[in-house]
Amino acid sequence: MTNTAAHTATLALVGDRSPNVVSHTRVPLLLDALAERDRLVLDAYWIPSEDAAAEGAVRGFDAVWVLPGSPYRSEAGVLAAIRTAREEGIPFLGTCGGFQHALLEFARNVCGLTRVAHAENDPGAEDPLIEPLACSLVGHEAAVAIEPGSLAESVIGSARTVERYFCAYGPSRHLDTLRAHGLRFSGHDEDGHVRVAELPGHPFFLATLFQPELSGDGSHPHPVVRALARAAVEHAARVRQSA
């Protein structure tokens, strides 16, 4: 077993950092708690969405977390960061807007659905993959059913969880195509709507429409956040062993 306490990992926080986005203000608290409570030390760097568009912007990091805060200043930058993490086996977490854009990246670059769009970024799009939710989840808590045998289940440790949201958009179409190309939808709300996605065969690729960073007061990191940190530290250990 890897001695995770012996390694410091680097984490790319992709998004347009703002003191007005609660998720962003939670990050320092979560990083401190991960180090103190779990001995998972992460050296985190914010990468604005516009900077993420540069070639290799997140290459070399041990994990990538695309945080909420959409619409991002650069959709292309966020999609580029997600693609790098997906293709190069870098542990990845996308929450809220990160979830939405993870599905968008997969649809365009894996499924060949090059015309799909995010309605928040392109309100007049002919083929929106991500559309306004029938009932906004801004400020809500709701139950999520987790599929047995999934990464999400192994991380959360339960078949059902109640999570916090601050989202008004979600996936609406082409879901069967995404499934057929390998994306697994491993969490659904009580009406069967997709709330969690993961990529089997990837070291760690998880995306949630809910926002685990908003759980509690930040002093006890959500299992999803803790799992990303653990995956990052393990990635750092593997890189050092192969160097």
Q: Exposed, middle or buried by CB within 10 Å (0-12, 13-18, 19+), for 238?
A: middle
**pLDDT at site 7:** 56
Mean pLDDT of 130-156: 90
| Structural class in CATH, domain 4-242 | alpha beta
Q: Three-class SS string for 131-191?
A: EECCCCCCCCEEEEEECCCCHHHHHHCCCEEEEECCCCEEECCCHHHHHHCCCEEEEECCC
Both tokens of 51, joined, read 């900077």
Mean pLDDT of 172-187: 97
Q: What pTM, to 2 d.p., does this model score?
A: 0.94
- Residue range 49-71, pLDDT digits in tens: 999 999 999 999 999 999 999 99
Mean pLDDT of 80-96: 98
- Residue range 7-17, pLDDT digits in tens: 589 999 999 99
Domain boundaries, the chain: 4-242
Q: How far, rounded to the nearest angstrom, does the alpha carbon of residue 91 sit from its chain's CA centroid?
A: 10
Both tokens of 213, joined, read 């960073």
